Amino acid sequence: MSTGIDMKKKRSRSRSRSIVNSLTPVVSVVIPVMNEARTLTRVILEARRVHPRTEVIVVVNGSRDGSGELSKRTGARVVHYDQALGHDVGRSVGAYAAKGSILLFIDGDIIIPAKKLKPFIKAVERGADVALNSYSGAVTRKKVHSVVLSKHALNILLSMPHLRGASLTAIPHALSRKAVEEIGGEMLSVPPKAQAAAALAGLNMLTVSYVEVGKTNPRKRKGRDPLTNLIVGDHLEAVHYLLKLSDQRGGKSDMGRKRELVIG
């Protein structure tokens, strides 16, 4: 038989759980930053609007422009490193710091309105593990960019040609907590490799909507993207990872080819 004291204790525990649940973020927005104070405030403000229970994590690495203090004043949680971490490593750091069940990844130098970010959150809420920007790159040109070719080729090798050139290399994209735990946060520092791991794990990957980020990317406006070779190299690393975990043909059939009969 419950006493009045027992009932009060139960109500107190229930209220405590409700308070904790109301404070726990559903969405963690991860923003790696290096000297992007010019756009950072607007990026954070848009990020905070994607869901009623959102935390914004800014991974400041090697910045000398006050990005960390600016992020704190704008309501973000800051993970700070004095030295530059290298491209995309901030995503891994942010993933480990995140508390939400949905992780949204954006950049500090590209302002994307919240209304364009929300569909990625909703896609994961509806069951997607990996929600990608449907941007695929220009493929009708006489000379297709090597990064675009790399993205399309990887998705074909992963038996996901329907993704076309959609890639974890491009922002925005969102991951479920399940995906992060399955892939491993460290994998996110090499996005194509993380995409290969997600495919091999049988995670639900889909494209959500088209968000134009190329024209607003400061590096793109200055001419050739200095990251081109790095990104192509990341895709080669992803192919190597795929072959290592399957076979020399990446799980593709050799059909009826009789290689052993070929005389050199």
Over residues 143-154, the pLDDT tens digits come to 999 999 999 999
Q: SS in 3 state form for 10-28?
A: HHHHHHHHHHHHHHCCCEE
Would you give the distance in Å from CA 40 to the centre of its chain? 18
Structure tokens at 246: 């399957």
- List of domains in the chain: 25-248 (3.90.550.10)
Q: How far apart are CA 118 and CA 95, in angstroms?
A: 19
Beta-sheet strands, E only, within the chain:
27-33, 54-61, 77-81, 102-105, 130-133, 173-176, 205-209
Average pLDDT, rounded, for the chain? 88
Q: What confidence score (pLDDT) does residue 230 get?
A: 94
Beta bridge partners of 173: 105
pLDDT of residue 179: 98
Measured CA to CA, the distance from residue 187 to residue 183 in angstroms comes to 7
Query: Any idea which residue has 């090597």 for tokens?
Result: 146
137, 181 in Cβ contact below 8 A? no
Is 50 exceeded by the pLDDT of residue 44? yes
Helix (H) and strand (E) counts in the chain: 10, 7
Q: How confident is the model at residue 70 (pLDDT cuts 50, 70, 90)?
A: very high
